[in-house]
Amino acid sequence: MPQLAQRVASAFGFPVVDDDDDDDLNDDLDNVANGMNIESATITSDWIFSLEGGQTIGLLAVACVTHLLGGDEGVQARDNLPRLHRVPFWNKRRTIPIPLPEGGVRTGVLWADSSVGTALRGYGAAAGPGYARWLRENMDALIEDLTDREWVGYYTYGAEARSRVDEPLRGIRFTAEADPDDGDGVLIRAHGCEDAVDKFNLDGTVSRRSGWVVLRKSYASGLLWVNQGWLTPLGIVGYWGDQPGRGYGFVWMYKRSWTTLDAREDVGHS
């Protein structure tokens, strides 16, 4: 998994960090905040921006993020990562519809305690034509579902398991409307959100054709980051950075209702 995380991070344009110097990434972030540019790789492959390619690398990114978050004691204590049996993509029988390349659908069994990573490892048809057809038919439904309920999430610093993880993103409630200048685009916004730094706003777009998401994250202080990624059945996943094609860490946003938080609060108020 560490090697996979590094490969996905490389595709996202993360700066190369020397394993012997944990401060390199923090120095880069400080330089960017002060208006300096640094050199790093950029995303150049058209495949990544296609529906099939974007969804494939997006789901791989989810697996990477869950691996990185799994080693953080704070994340473990909060216990607020998605439970697959609470994600609408999985039905009440705890099975998943796996589209087959030759057509048709095969049913796969999902256990309630399965992790996201475990499910993804068994989801071998994710890059197949059958999955692409299913996704194209359901992309509009994924976009319409953006405005339903609160979103939460996490971002990482870099792609190392030892990377620092801040307190979660929370209070994200999207609004959506058609982009008058782009028939393929949908304008999405979420204001009054909060993370470990401060309150922030999200403003951006999502493509109906590819699921590509671009969100400007702006703080009251004037600090600005760009979140880019894909809308997938497991949420919005990608990277954050100071400009398109250059990332400093993974970002994953998902529905609060997919976690056990709502269930625990319901018990507490009963």
Cross-strand partners of 199:
194
The rounded mean pLDDT for the chain is: 75
Higher pLDDT, 155 or 97: 155
Measured distance CA(197)–CA(212) in Å, rounded:
26
pLDDT single digits (tens) 170-226: 999 999 999 999 989 999 999 999 999 999 999 999 999 889 999 999 999 999 999
pLDDT tens-digit map of 80-90: 998 877 887 65
Tally of CB atoms within 10 A around 177 = 10
> Tokens in use for 65?
């993020």
Q: What is the pLDDT of residue 240?
A: 93
Hey, which CATH number is domain 2-80+150-269, 3.30.70, 2.40.10, 2.40.128, 1.10.1130?
2.40.128
Residue type, 176: A
pLDDT tens-digit map of 248-270: 889 999 999 999 876 555 434 33
For residue 158, which amino acid is it? G
**Predicted confidence (pLDDT) at residue 97 exceeds the cutoff of 90:** no
What is the predicted pLDDT for the residue at 243?
A: 78
Contact status, residue 117 vs residue 36, Cβ threshold 8 Å? no
Q: What pLDDT score does 228 carry?
A: 93
What pLDDT is attached to residue 33?
43
Domain boundaries, the chain: 2-80+150-269
